[in-house]
Structures are given as structure tokens and as C-alpha cells.
Amino acid sequence: FGEAAKKLQGPFVPKFEDYQQVYNSIAARLEERDDYDDGSFGPVLLRLAWHCSGTYDKETGTGGSNGATMRFTPEGSHGANAGLQSARDFLDPIKEQYPWITYSDLWILGGVCAIQEMQGPKIPYRPGRSDRDVSFCTPDGRLPDASKDQKHVRAIFGRMGFDDKEMVALSGAHALGRCHEDRSGYSGPWTFSPTTLTNDYYKLLLEEKWAWKKWTGPKQFEDVKTKTLMMLPTDMALVQDKGFRPYVEKYANDNEAFFKDFSDGVVRLFELGVPFTVAEDARWTFKSSFD
């Protein structure tokens, strides 16, 4: 009888409410698990979603958030992805609870949830990513190298199809989280509130005095006043470059403009390389836990 009923219903097609439930479960787990460095897995979940997406190459159409190929060793062990196992492990019980969602849709939903739960803007979402096999792993070297300058930043984000304004708007995500010596080699947070999304990253870039940190690790900047904050060479490139700097100034002065452009940029980033069947105007906006 059960089988017959199932046949009548057809295959399970998840709807908005089903994805909202997954969102709620991720949000609840973020609240529960405060055993990550600043009390939240939010930053590393966002980093996972971005590193899936940021492999995209617009010329060949390869890479991007479709596939979740970071599950496989070649890509999972790329130097740039060091530490992201913790984010994947965090999401595994959610995948067990909702087996119908693909890893690739789940990892991006994790990024969306992280941003919203860290009090960032709404990030509209649509599903449609499928998991692909190891042969779809991208070659090493597609993600940015923090020791480089603006030419590199433009080359990497240009390859994904982004312009100057979008590059600066996305960069505000470095208000969140921190660098770990055992992962990237760099050390420290960018802002004083690394689990809340604000435009502080831009304000600090402009208002603080920055100097090279005196240490034996990779070259990074520290704030002269407290010596507790950091900037990567690629972060500092945003104020050194004439094309980038006006946007840094704009976002430092206008959090609303930052949130708007950040959201637009992240939506585009998270959708790179995905052959959606759902139209752009049918994206969903999830309720946050505090709405």
C-alpha cells in the first residue's frame, strides 16, 4: 500500500519549505556548536562556499559551485583549501538528516546561512547544483594567492567574470573569521568582531595605520595601535590601487551600499558554473533565525 501511495505521489520534489528547514537546521547547529575559534563556524562555512565557487573559469566554463568536487583528495588537499575539512564535517550531519539535498547545494546553502546568521544581508538562493565525480576536480592554482598584488586579484576575479566594484564589495567578507598559522601560514583576524558582518573591514583599512608585522611568518600587515588585527597583501592592494580605492571609501561610509553590493556579488559568486533550471527571478530568500 505504501509503495502504491509513493508511486501516486511521484518522486519527492523539495520545495522552498524543505530548503528553509535545511537552513534552520544549519542555523541551529551554528548556535549549538560554539567550539570554533571565535565561537562560530560561520566564517569557515562561508569560506567553504566561496572556495567551491571561486574555481570558476568563464572561458572554459569549468569549476564553480556545481559538483562539490572538494570531497575528493586532489581538490580537498589543494593548499588553498587547508582547514575546510572542518566546515565539511560540520555539514555532514545535515546531509544525513536531509539526504535529498546535494552536497553542492548544501555547501552553498551553508554559506548563505552563515552570512545571514552573522547579521549580514539576505542572500537570495536557488537550488540546482548536482554532485559530480572526481574527474571534475579543478587544477590547483585557481584560488587567489594572498601574497600577491592587485594585478593578481584582478586576474583571478576577472577569470570568474567580476569587475572592480564587485571585487571590492566581495572583499568585505574579510570582516569575518581569521587566518590560522597551521592553514594558510597567516595569523589573526581582520576586525574586532569576526563573527558579525559589518563594513568595519573597509573602515579599518582606511582609518588604521598598518605596518609590516615583524615575524618569521609570511609577509602580512598588522595595525600599529593594537597589533592584534591583520591585513593580507591582497587586502592592502584595495587601498593602494586607484581603481579599487574609491569603492573602499564608498563602502566604509555606507554600510547599506556595502550590504546591497555584497549580496549581489555573493549571489553571482555562489551561482558560477551552475546550469540552473530555476529562473533568476524565482530565487528564494530564507528567513533568518532572528527574523
Binding mask 186-215 for ligand HIF (x = CB under 6 A): x-----------------------------
Task: Tell whether residue 268 is a contact of ligand HIF (CB under 6 A).
Answer: no
Q: Which is nearer to ligand HIF, 24 or 86 (CB)?
A: 86
Alpha-carbon distance of 200 to 256, in angstroms, equals 13
Judged by CB, which is closer to ligand HIF: 133, or 155? 155
Q: How many residues bind ligand HIF (CB under 6 A)?
A: 23
Does 78 help bind ligand HIF (rule: CB under 6 A)?
A: no
119 Ramachandran zone, left/alpha/beta (phi>0; psi -120 to 50): left
190 is catalytic: yes
Among the candidate windows 61-69, 125-133, 179-187, 203-211, which touches ligand HIF by CB under 6 A? 179-187
Least Å distance between CB 157 and ligand HIF? 7
Segment interacting with ligand HIF, rule: CB under 6 A, options 63-71, 93-101, 180-188, 251-259: 180-188
Note whether 170 binds ligand HIF by CB under 6 A: yes
Q: Which is nearer to ligand HIF, 133 or 149 (CB)?
A: 149
Nearest-angstrom CA–CA distance, 87 and 22: 16
Q: How large is the angle between the packed helices 150-160 and 233-240, nearest 10 degrees?
A: 100
- Beta carbon nearer to ligand HIF, 190 or 286: 190
Straight-line distance from the first to the last Cα atom of the chain, in angstroms, rounded to the nearest whole number: 42
Is there binding between residue 48 and ligand HIF (CB under 6 A)?
no
Cβ burial, residue 249 (10 Å; 0-12/13-18/19+): middle
The Cα–Cα gap between 235 and 160 comes to 19
* Closest residue to ligand HIF: CB criterion: 177
Q: Is residue 284 flagged as an active site residue?
A: no
Could you tell me which of 55, 114, 113 has the C-alpha nearest to residue 81?
A: 55
Q: What residues have CB less than 8 Å from 7, skipping those under 6 apart?
A: none
Among residues 50, 107, 190, 210, which one is catalytic?
190
Q: Does 142 bind ligand HIF (CB under 6 A)?
A: no
Q: Does 63 bind ligand HIF (CB under 6 A)?
A: no
Sole binder of ligand HIF in the list 150, 184, 195, 263 (CB under 6 A): 184
The type of residue at 233 is P
Give the nearer residue to ligand HIF in terms of CB position, either 177 or 273.
Answer: 177
- The three cell numbers of residue 33 are 556548536
50 binds ligand HIF (CB under 6 A): yes
Give the 3-state secondary structure of residue 188. strand
Helix (H, G, I), strand (E, B) or coil at 62: strand
Tell me phi and psi for residue 237, to 5 degrees.
-60, -25
**Cell numbers of 290, please?**
532572528
Shortest distance, position 50 Cβ to ligand HIF, whole Å: 4
- Residue 183 near residue 105, CB atoms below 8 Å: no
Which residues participate in catalysis according to the annotation? 51, 190
Binding site for ligand HIF (CB under 6 A): 43-44, 46-47, 50, 83, 144, 146, 153, 170-171, 173-174, 176-180, 183-184, 186, 232, 234
